[in-house]
Structure 1
Amino acid sequence: MTETAQQSTGVEGVDGGVGVTALLVAAARAIETHRHDSLARDVHAEHFVRAAPASANWPVRIQQVPDGDADPLWGRFARYFGLRTRVLDDFVLRSVHGKGMRQVVLFGAGLDTRAYRLDLPSGCVVYEIDRAGVLAFKRDVLDGTSARPKAARVAIALDLRADWAAALTESGFDPAAPSVWLAEGLLFYLPAAAETHLVDTVHRLSAGGSSLAYEVKLEKDLLSYRHSPLYVATKEQLGIDLLDLFDTEPRPDSAGSLAGKGWFTSVHTPFEFTHRHGRGPLPEQNDALEGNRWVFAEKG
């Protein structure tokens, strides 16, 4: 197994800003892991939550939440993250087992532990791109456990607004080989131009047959959801104002751009997968999830 890191300075960890949202997702994955009808299991997630002062007292089991699944944050929102984890786990596994891909690139990898918990084939390399502080926190926590990656893992400590393509290829990524790319819960934090650059660069670095999955929001005015139960609960219970972290300018049509470049794309609501799996969030009034879309693309 190999693990390399390219160092960067002056970047945040998980103590504030977008970094702390990685802890929110980790707590949701921990809750999902302990459910009797779990959609996805991440036994490492609880360790991240307990290790960070900002989240040490957050629940990691639904039984620790006074209102249980009726709580908008730890019930509905956490289940959303559990569903998203399952759907994207399946996407990665289909790509590496069904299509023979051996390169997985995780943008804004955060506290993602797919290199540790998924059944990845021999010779698979997982490239994790995120800020140095987040990757260092993850490394320190996992080093304190018995966790060992199941695939070669290459950590690239870099802000995605920097030249991540050069860092990726310098770390051993081969643009001539088909790859699976994943941007989970990332693009709505980036300016529209950064999203366009990321998608265009993925296209440039992708061999035929490569796969990409990412999440976007379609709303033109995110602020109209400021009083939605999900956002209100996240701010009141955790002090995280997601709308202050999201980039609120109009989003580009990245799926349309990929289709124009010869990719086969499909765009889905999360609720489609709720029906498919028999559990997960369903639409409600003033729904902050209404505009969320999961995009899947394959390069022809």
Structure 2
Amino acid sequence: MPTGRFLGLRTRVFDDFLTGAASHGCRQVVVLGAGLDTRAYRLPWPDGTTVFEIDHREVLDFKQSVLDAQDAVPRAGRVALAADLRQDWTGPLTAAGFDPARPTVWLAEGLVPYLPPAAERELLRIIDDHSAPGSMLGCEVKHGVDPLAQRNFPIYAVVRERTGIDLLALFSPEPRPRTAAELTARGWTSDVYTPFDFTRRHGRGPLPTLDDALAANRWILATRALAR
């Protein structure tokens, strides 16, 4: 299924991004909308790394029950923080030990496309306000979503038929922010990729097809300038 190849590739790309950021000195990792992310357990983190996972309490509790059943042990300091990203989450994050004066690598994997444009801009502002020089951000954005014209695109149709979830109904129809440009205006350097760029790089993953929903996806890997 193309969705499986896509998700596998995306996981690999952001794994590499996070471990690269850690090798460049980021010892704080903040996973926004962490869901079932287990990178605190899977990746070879340097000593002194703390991974903050932010999501709803129910999600974090379910994940913890699965991890406990497997006697899983994290390979970094791990802080699971129950918070709603639509409300104040930086206060609880700081109270949990996050230090905005230290370089941080932020991950918003599979989150931003589901936010309204105003919420995406606010998220970028908050990340920028809490990022020391040398901080990094990896995120996925999606442009050119047209719910009416794209309803029968294969990926959307398959997910709808197999799970009953209408992904297109979850995307805001409003024009999306120019995320990379807005990061640049805030002093970040951004590289923007399509999933197919990494398919060619790794020799595996999704390939472009007719009526391809993935053609609208962009992966942004950004770094905050060393001097403000």
Q: TM-score range by the shorter chain?
A: over 0.9
Report the alpha carbon displacement of residue 221 of structure 1 after superposing the two structures with TM. Answer: 2.2
Q: Residue 219 of structure 1: SS of its match in structure 2?
A: coil
Matches within 5 A, 1:60-71: none
Q: What is the match of residue 186 of structure 1?
A: 111
- The question of 1:174 aligning with 2:109 is answered no
Matches within 5 A, 1:241-280: 241-280=166-205
Equivalent of 1:87 in 13, 33, 37: 13
Q: Deviation per CA, 1:21-72, whole angstroms, max 9, x where unpaired?
A: xxxxxxxxxxxxxxxxxxxxxxxxxxxxxxxxxxxxxxxxxxxxxxxxxxxx
**Whole-angstrom distance in 2 between the partners of 1:182 and 1:153:** 15
Q: Deviation per CA, 1:227-255, whole angstroms, max 9, x where unpaired?
A: 01111111111111111222222111121
When structure 1 is superposed on structure 2, of 145-154 and 273-282 the one drifting more is: 145-154
Matches within 5 A, 1:91-110: 91-97=17-23, 99-110=24-35
**Whole-angstrom distance in 1 between the partners of 2:96 and 2:104:** 15
Matches within 5 A, 1:104-123: 104-123=29-48
- Answer yes or no: is the 8 Å Cα contact 2:145–2:216 preserved in 1: no
Equivalent of 1:128 in 34, 48, 53: 53
Q: Residue 218 of structure 2: SS of its match in structure 1?
A: strand
Q: Deviation per CA, 1:105-130, whole angstroms, max 9, x where unpaired?
A: 00000000000010011110000011
Unaligned runs of 5+ in 2: none
- Name the aligned partner's letter for residue 150 of structure 2: Y
When structure 1 is superposed on structure 2, of 160-169 and 76-85 the one drifting more is: 160-169
Q: Deviation per CA, 1:249-281, whole angstroms, max 9, x where unpaired?
A: 211112111101111111110000000000000
**Whole-angstrom distance in 1 between the partners of 2:37 and 2:180:** 24
For CA contacts below 8 A with separation 6 or more, give which structure has more relative contact order: 2
- The question of 1:160 aligning with 2:85 is answered yes
* TM-score normalized with structure 2 length: 0.96
Unaligned runs of 5+ in 1: 1-74
**Whole-angstrom distance in 1 between the partners of 2:19 and 2:147:** 33
**Whole-angstrom distance in 1 between the partners of 2:134 and 2:106:** 12
- The question of 1:294 aligning with 2:216 is answered no
The number of residues matched between the two structures is: 225
**Whole-angstrom distance in 2 between the partners of 1:89 and 1:232:** 29
- Name the aligned partner's letter for residue 219 of structure 1: G
Identity rate, percent: 55
**Whole-angstrom distance in 1 between the partners of 2:146 and 2:178:** 16
* TM-score normalized with structure 1 length: 0.74
Q: Residue 174 of structure 1: SS of its match in structure 2?
A: coil
Q: What is the match of residue 211 of structure 1?
A: 136
- Name the aligned partner's letter for residue 215 of structure 1: E
Equivalent of 1:138 in 57, 63, 84: 63
**Whole-angstrom distance in 2 between the partners of 1:223 and 1:179:** 39
Report the alpha carbon displacement of residue 159 of structure 1 after superposing the two structures with TM. Answer: 1.3
Structure 1 106/223 Cα, relative in aligned 2: closer, same or farther at 3 Å? farther
**Whole-angstrom distance in 2 between the partners of 1:256 and 1:167:** 29
Structure 1 257/192 Cα, relative in aligned 2: closer, same or farther at 3 Å? same
Higher strand share goes to which structure? Answer: 2
